Amino acid sequence: MSYITRICQNNSNWQYPTRSATEASNTFFSQHGYGHEEWLFRFEWQIGGWQYSFLQGVNKGRESRLLRGERAGDVVLYTLTPAGRRYVARIRHIEFLDDTQGTAALNHYKRLGWYDRMLEEIDTVRGERTGLGNGEWAPYVLNVRFRPEDIEWYPPNTFAEAADPVLHYNRYQLIELNNEAVLPATINTRRPVRKGQNLPPIQDSYFRSGASGRECSPEHGIMQAALHEELKVEYPDANIIFEDNFVDVTVTTQTETILFEVKSDLCTRRVLRLAIGQLLEYAYYWNEAPEKTVRLVAVGRTALSPEDERYLQYLTEKLNIPLEYRQVKLPSET
């Protein structure tokens, strides 16, 4: 599903509050001096390679959306400026957090001192810090997460032109885009089939993606715990170890060694892409061949699609790789 939503104006590329927006008198920004979205692209604050942030459009209608099973989508962002309505970015595969995820991510922010830093930056712009996470406006400080590499930036001067539907959008709502919606091209637009070119691709130097954090995301830890409970039942006599030589979970029985690599992405294709290389290295980049049979298991939150199953079957049958996939849901998804 594709959506478009408005974000508050900001002069720091949404890394910290700048009090630069001009808002109507009845908005959160006008009453508190900042918006929850002003840390949207604070890339040094990543957890396990994920950017946890807030979108007011997601805040509205969030519970009903989650109840309908809408856990992720593509979201186009625009903002209001004195020069007009400017397109900011398109984020692919953005995940809408449920209550458990939002609380766990915020607790992580507090442990690392990031939440206190947010409060200090609110003070810097003479904002009202009691509004942060206020249930009347936004009960969750963090309600989305995405990987920075999934951001497609619009050129800085991409404004809505005449007849653009975005000119009629006034509120901070998540508006569904129909298939016929015509949007400006991003700097790094992705297409289902990518054609080659004669020159190296242009790297945008205006925005920084940031480096991935070293810590695991809350979702990753929850999945590891859920997997552990399942494995204790399936392999009661086995040795189950976490993070041994960087492997998420290693199960050792009398006859085999099973390596599990956990990825919390909702897209199973991405889970396979991220996990397979690590599993192959864990299993076969050794000084001596393993004595026991080795099985490699990629662990994700969603079921495999027919295309995923076909791909996995090819790897196992044609290339003789002992690769498997296992679904482990978050407790809120069961």
Residue 148 shares a structural domain with residue 226: no
Q: Distance (Å, rounded) from C-alpha 126 to C-alpha 119?
A: 11
Higher pLDDT, 53 or 170: 53
- Give the number of domains in the chain: 2
Higher pLDDT, 196 or 15: 15
In a domain, 228, yes or no: yes
How far is residue 280 from each of residues 93, 170, 274, 292, 303, measured CA to CA in Å?
26, 50, 11, 16, 22
| Predicted local distance difference test score (pLDDT) of residue 219 | 95
**Mean pLDDT value across residues 217-228:** 94
Residue 215 has pLDDT above 90, yes or no: no
| Predicted local distance difference test score (pLDDT) of residue 212 | 42
Residue 25 shares a structural domain with residue 151: yes
In a domain, 198, yes or no: no
Residue 170 shares a structural domain with residue 270: no
Parent domain of 55: 2-176
In a domain, 292, yes or no: yes
User: Residue 301: which of 226, 234, 215 has the closest Cα?
Assistant: 226
- Domain end: 121, 149, 176, which one? 176
In a domain, 187, yes or no: no
Q: 148, 51 in Cβ contact below 8 A?
A: yes
**Mean pLDDT value across residues 37-65:** 90
Model confidence pLDDT, tens digit, residues 161-184: 988 888 888 788 899 887 656 788
- Domain end: 156, 176, 196, which one? 176
In a domain, 185, yes or no: no
In a domain, 47, yes or no: yes
Contacts with 275 (C-beta within 8 Å, 6 or more apart), sequence order: 261, 262, 263, 298, 299, 300
3-state secondary structure of 240: strand
In a domain, 203, yes or no: no
Amino acid letter at 219? E
Q: At 28, is the pLDDT very low, low, confident or very high (cuts 50, 70, 90)?
A: confident
In a domain, 62, yes or no: yes
Residue 206 has pLDDT above 50, yes or no: no
Residue 165 shares a structural domain with residue 43: yes
Residue 126 shares a structural domain with residue 239: no
Classify the C-alpha dihedral 105-107-111-115 as positive or negative.
positive
Residue 164 shares a structural domain with residue 280: no
Model confidence pLDDT, tens digit, residues 282-317: 998 876 777 789 999 999 999 999 999 999 999 999
Q: Which residue has the tokens 């050792």?
A: 252
Q: Distance (Å, rounded) from C-alpha 37 to C-alpha 267?
A: 25
- Domain end: 150, 176, 202, which one? 176
The pTM of the full predicted model, rounded to 2 decimals, is 0.84
Please report, for the domain that includes residue 289, its CATH number. 3.40.1350
